[in-house]
Structures are given as C-alpha cells and as structure tokens.
Amino acid sequence: MILRHLSSQKPFTTKDGSQIRSLLDCSNAPVQNQSLAEATLPAGGRTERHFHRKSEEFYFFLDGGGVMEIDGIEREVGEGDAVLIPPGAWHQVRSDSGARFLCCCAPPYSHEDTYFE
C-alpha cells in the first residue's frame, strides 16, 4: 500500500505557474497512468494559458474559486465544482479571492506535455 499525506508533500511550481503538491505521481509512487495533486492560486492569481497534448485533466475545487476558461469558454467555478479538461484544450484558471483544487491527470502531469501560445 502506498499512502501519502498532503502535509508531507513539498510544493513546487508547475510550468503554467500554479503551485502544486503532488500526492501521487511517478515521482513518489509506482504510478503509471495518472497523477493526483493539490493546486493553489493566491488571491489575484492565475495560471498561464496552456494545453496538454496527451493528458486529460480533472480539476475539483476544494476552497475558493474563480473563472475557468477552456477553449475560449469561461465559467465561474467554486467549492464542489468538478471540471473536465480534454487533451489539447487550451485552459486557464484565475481567481480574485484565491483557490485550492485537486488536479488529476491521465497520463500523469509532466512539464514536457505543457504547451503555451
């Protein structure tokens, strides 16, 4: 059994500018097909608009919220909302008040699969 507690994971900044703590991925477990991380955005924060060629992503908002943009369509998001981001979809999240959300990626998140305009 592999067990990781959020508090034991060191945060790092992803290529899109979000701060994440990896719960389970290739770097800390024998994971092959997905990754799970907690992401945080400070008040006034935003990720850089980007896409992933390979990874399908789920975002699940735990606290706070903001505006989620996927391929030019914007929606308000907040606590309890789950968002699907298909592979190849341009996306960005921004938050006036700050946000904390889970990110699940399949295949696992990688800097090499993150592309910008």
Q: Kindly tell me if the per-residue pLDDT of 91 is higher than 90.
A: yes
What CATH superfamily classification does 12-116 receive? Answer: Jelly Rolls (2.60.120.10)
Distances in Å between the alpha carbon of 13 and those of 3, 73, 77, 79? 23, 26, 22, 22
What pLDDT, on the 0 to 100 scale, is given for residue 69? 98
The percent of residues above 70 in pLDDT, for the chain, comes to 100
- Per-chain mean pLDDT for the chain: 94
Grade residue 70 by pLDDT with cuts at 50, 70 and 90.
very high
Per-domain boundaries in the chain: 12-116
What pLDDT, on the 0 to 100 scale, is given for residue 117? 79
Which pTM was predicted? Answer: 0.93
Structure tokens given for 20: 């994440």
Output 117 or 63, whichever has higher pLDDT: 63
CB 7, CB 13: distance < 8 Å: no
What pLDDT, on the 0 to 100 scale, is given for residue 17? 80
Tally the residues of the chain.
117
**What tens digit of pLDDT does each residue of 13-64 get?**
888 888 999 999 988 999 999 999 999 999 999 999 999 999 999 999 999 9
